[in-house]
Amino acid sequence: MTTVARYWRETPRRYNLGGCRCPTCRTVFFPPRSVCPACVTHRRSFGKMEPFQLSGDGEVFSYSIVHDAAEGFEMQVPYVLALVKTPEGPTLTGQVVDVAPDQIRIGLRVHATFRKLREEGRAGVIHYGYKFAPVSEPLAGTGTAESASPAQAPGERGRVRA
């Protein structure tokens, strides 16, 4: 269980997909780390990792359709849990929402969206987190999308909505 103090301390990362980048090899990590495991010389990165903002864009690399949910998520089945490869490098795990499980496919373009995950009973703390929603594909030769993406309103490209 996450304490309220820790929850609020980690809020910038939770709501903004804030990762970090190694100043030596330029590898991007999410969540942030204090040292780069990718560098041969780990000492150069220690304490020097740079904050890095992920765009929220990605594509489904692999997925599973969950039919037997963990406790507290029984009402959501079936749902899609996916590995999403970001253009910045990290692969994130998250639920894909706003798409029927039979419509999910490898290569589906998605964008991070923030949704309510759960509430902590009497304490009243509401936990939010990222999930992924499909991005409309542009029509060939038109440069316009078939429909507005459920994850973004017009003019919000590249921004993550709460």
Residue 158 confidence (pLDDT): 39
Taking Cα atoms as reference points, which of 90, 99, 8 lies closest to residue 56?
90
Phi, psi of 61 (to 5 degrees): -95, -40
Taking phi first (over 0 means left), then psi (-120 to 50 degrees means alpha), and beta for anything else, what does residue 131 get?
beta
Inside any domain, residue 125: yes
Inside any domain, residue 63: yes
Task: Please check whether residues 102 and 37 belong to one and the same domain.
Answer: no
pTM, to two decimals: 0.72
Inside any domain, residue 83: yes
Residues of the chain with pLDDT under 70: 1-15, 40-42, 137-162
Residue 159 confidence (pLDDT): 36
Which pairing describes strands 125-134 and 109-120: parallel, antiparallel, or unpaired?
antiparallel
Inside any domain, residue 155: no
> Could you give the number of structural domains in the chain?
2
Domain that holds residue 83: 57-134
Task: Please check whether residues 68 and 85 belong to one and the same domain.
Answer: yes
Residue 148 confidence (pLDDT): 34
Task: Please check whether residues 63 and 129 belong to one and the same domain.
Answer: yes
Residue 157 confidence (pLDDT): 37
Residue 114 confidence (pLDDT): 86
Taking Cα atoms as reference points, which of 81, 56, 85, 46 lies closest to residue 67?
81
Inside any domain, residue 8: no
Task: Please check whether residues 48 and 112 belong to one and the same domain.
Answer: no
